[in-house]
Structure 1
Amino acid sequence: MTVLILTCEQDVTADLVVAQLHTTGVPMVRLDPADLPGGVALSGEYVNGAFRGQLSTGGRLVSLNGLRSIWLRRPGVPATRVAEPSPWLTEESSQALYGMLRGTGARWMNDPDAARRARHKPWQIRHAQRSGLPVPATLITTFPQAARDFAERFPDLVVKPVSGTHPISGARPQELPSTIPTSRIAPGTDFAAVAFGPTLLQRRIAKVADIRLTVVGDRMLAARKALPPDADPDEVDVRYATSGSPWHPVDVPARTATAVRAYLRDAELAYGAFDFVEDADGIWWFLECNQSGQFGFVELDTGQPISRSVADWLSHDGPDTETHRNGRMRSAP
């Protein structure tokens, strides 16, 4: 049985898992849907109530009937590397590839429909609330007056993009979305500009640490980056922080673990990279859950076996029966 990894060519996170799969001897094939048709070819036959399908890439022919699992990591858009790309060819290629893969019975990390839904930040926020996770007061609006009223109720705010997009393999340079850091709102801001596009405002949590919780099936691996005592309060985005303090393994509070399990179960996700901030009372405040989030930087600092956990999940034939926190195996509740 073969593991199929759908991702772009330059993906260090996928490289880590590929290396782990090689050590186990589990058959694996990696491809980018952006290369279909061309570098990737496929065929599916539906005859007499049966299905037979094949994928070809890099000189390898893989039976779709023999797929064990599919990791939807960061795939490119189908048919974007052909000589003459078109929306029609992209739609045809997408329908053919994902339609065939859905009929294989392989396990998904994550299911395409669930992953697409889970990318929406407004959906994440509401789903986190329903799952029992603390969420900072948030407003998404194009009404300037609504933003002004919100700022009166919550004077210390940050602004962040509504979308969580990342560059798509095969896209033209001018089409690549910019990465916009979360920023603190200056006092006296007029908010007139929110009329030109949806704006996400959120109450700033006076954090003492950032938390990254990576969940793979039933396995939880959490890491904590403490905020230096002299940290600039305007430096709210951990991705752009000047502090060089490392990530350290940390246990997950029981209430948070329960809520996170509910979040992933109801979202139908097998993998999620959760970002929290911890306040002085030890509360983990939910910021977002990236259904295809990076983890190499955490694994490098902490030594947590995240890539091994992903490889184990992809190699496994049945449902998970254990939970894994910070390298220690425990029975699942």
Structure 2
Amino acid sequence: MTVLILTCEEDVTADMVIVHLHGSGVPVVRVDPADLTGGVSLSGEYVHGRFRGHLSAGGRLVSIGGLRSVWVRRPGPPAGRATQPSPWLTEEAAQALYGMLRGSDARWMNHPDAARQARHKPWQLRLAQRCGLPVPATVITTFPRAAREFAERFPDLVVKPVSGAHPQDPPRAVPTSRVAPDTDFAAVAFGPTLLQRRIAKRADIRLTAVGERLLAARKATAPDAEPAEVDVRFATSPSPWEPVEVPQRTADAVHAYLREAELAYGAFDFVEDADGTWWFLECNQSGQFGFVEVETGQPIARAVAEWLSRPAPGETPGVNGVRTTAH
């Protein structure tokens, strides 16, 4: 049975996982939904109470019923590179592709419905609270007065986007920034603004969850770091990412988060304060892990490949680990 990877044309992270899948002899097909109606074709037949579906990509024909898992990595918009792209065609192609895949028995990393919900940062913060993860005091508001009152209670604040990357082509990361003490917050009225108490951190933590497996890395904050450098993605700290053990309390809370969110994969960002507490910032359901693996040597790509290559229902391990379908 085959592993299907849905991702964009250039994705080094997916390449890292594919190497391990090939090495273990697991069939894998990589598809960018943006190529639908061009280099990718699909067909589904619903007759006499049965479904037969197929995908064609790169000269290979794959049975949708023969998929053991689907990794939704970073797919392009369906039919985005069609000869005559349009919002209507994208919606049609999305309904066809994801609708057929939902009819398979494949395991998802992550299911599109769960991934869509998990993108919402306000929802993440509430779920993290319920699961027992410490969350910095946060307000999301369009009321300038509410922002001012929040700043009076928590004078040291950062501001960050609610949704993540700015939707330009290519997407541009919007950094988390420190809020100046004299800010009047009048501009809050023009769009939802996320303000959060700044945690005086001694390190950043990236915890990558793959199924039940948790792999965490720590990047120490330099003692002389600029106070304005609050976003690790743009910081100039020379400290490398290093492997670190996950505290049991944090591990239990992360597992609870994944269960509630119905996620098989999550890239969690924390900051560690002077007392060693890990404060939850966010969870990216399709976050990068290549940079952590390169610096730490942690086998994240292998862990993803092993999760994707687990036997599907009705499939049994064969000789030398090669999978066979039960009859």
- TM-score normalised according to structure 2 size: 0.94
1:211 to 205, 209, 212: 205
1:275 to 256, 259, 269: 269
Offset at 1:62? 0.7
Indicate if the aligned counterparts of 1:7 and 1:73 stay in contact, CA closer than 8 A.
Answer: yes
**Could you tell me how far apart the structure 1 residues matched to 2:53 and 2:62 are?**
8
1:115 corresponds in structure 2 to 115
**Could you tell me how far apart the structure 2 residues matched to 1:79 and 1:192 are?**
42
Residue type at the aligned position of 2:248: A
**Could you tell me how far apart the structure 2 residues matched to 1:127 and 1:136 are?**
13
SS of the equivalent of 2:150 reads helix
2:177 corresponds in structure 1 to 183
How many residues are treated as equivalent by the alignment? Answer: 313
1:325 corresponds in structure 2 to none
**Could you tell me how far apart the structure 1 residues matched to 2:222 and 2:90 are?**
48
Residue type at the aligned position of 1:78: P
Deviations 1:179-233 (A, max 9, x none): 1100000111011111111110000000000000000000000000011111111
Offset at 1:58? 1.1
2:301 to 292, 307, 320: 307
Indicate if the aligned counterparts of 2:128 and 2:280 stay in contact, CA closer than 8 A.
Answer: yes
**Could you tell me how far apart the structure 2 residues matched to 1:231 and 1:16 are?**
33
For 1:92-111, list aligned pairs within 5 A: 92-111=92-111
Are 1:40 and 2:40 an aligned pair? yes
Gaps of 5+ in 2: 314-327
For 1:130-149, list aligned pairs within 5 A: 130-149=130-149
1:12 corresponds in structure 2 to 12
RMSD after superposition: 1.2
- TM-score normalised according to structure 1 size: 0.92
**Could you tell me how far apart the structure 1 residues matched to 2:311 and 2:100 are?**
20
Are 1:63 and 2:58 an aligned pair? no
**Could you tell me how far apart the structure 2 residues matched to 1:104 and 1:78 are?**
19
**Could you tell me how far apart the structure 2 residues matched to 1:165 and 1:264 are?**
23
SS of the equivalent of 1:34 reads helix
Deviations 1:10-35 (A, max 9, x none): 11111100111111110000010011
SS of the equivalent of 2:68 reads strand
Indicate if the aligned counterparts of 1:78 and 1:93 stay in contact, CA closer than 8 A.
Answer: yes
Indicate if the aligned counterparts of 2:114 and 2:263 stay in contact, CA closer than 8 A.
Answer: yes
Indicate if the aligned counterparts of 2:26 and 2:309 stay in contact, CA closer than 8 A.
Answer: yes
Offset at 1:175? 4.6
2:188 corresponds in structure 1 to 194
**Could you tell me how far apart the structure 1 residues matched to 2:6 and 2:153 are?**
45
**Could you tell me how far apart the structure 1 residues matched to 2:109 and 2:197 are?**
32
Indicate if the aligned counterparts of 1:249 and 1:302 stay in contact, CA closer than 8 A.
Answer: yes
SS of the equivalent of 1:135 reads coil
2:323 corresponds in structure 1 to none
Offset at 1:166? 7.0
1:161 corresponds in structure 2 to 161
**Could you tell me how far apart the structure 1 residues matched to 2:283 and 2:311 are?**
26
Offset at 1:234? 1.1
Are 1:285 and 2:287 an aligned pair? no
Gaps of 5+ in 1: 168-173, 320-333
Runs of 4+ in structure 1 off by over 3 angstroms are 174-177
Offset at 1:177? 3.8
Q: Note closer, same or farther for the CA distance 1:246–1:233 as it changes in structure 2 (3 Å cut).
A: same
SS of the equivalent of 1:190 reads coil
- The answer to which of 84-93 and 292-301 deviates more is 84-93
**Could you tell me how far apart the structure 2 residues matched to 1:52 and 1:105 are?**
12
Indicate if the aligned counterparts of 1:120 and 1:164 stay in contact, CA closer than 8 A.
Answer: no
SS of the equivalent of 2:302 reads helix
- Structure 1 vs Structure 2: percent identity of aligned residues? 78
1:295 corresponds in structure 2 to 289
2:244 to 242, 250, 264: 250
**Could you tell me how far apart the structure 1 residues matched to 2:77 and 2:211 are?**
26
2:232 to 219, 233, 238: 238
Indicate if the aligned counterparts of 2:144 and 2:186 stay in contact, CA closer than 8 A.
Answer: yes
Deviations 1:154-194 (A, max 9, x none): 00000000002476xxxxxx554431100000111011111
2:3 corresponds in structure 1 to 3
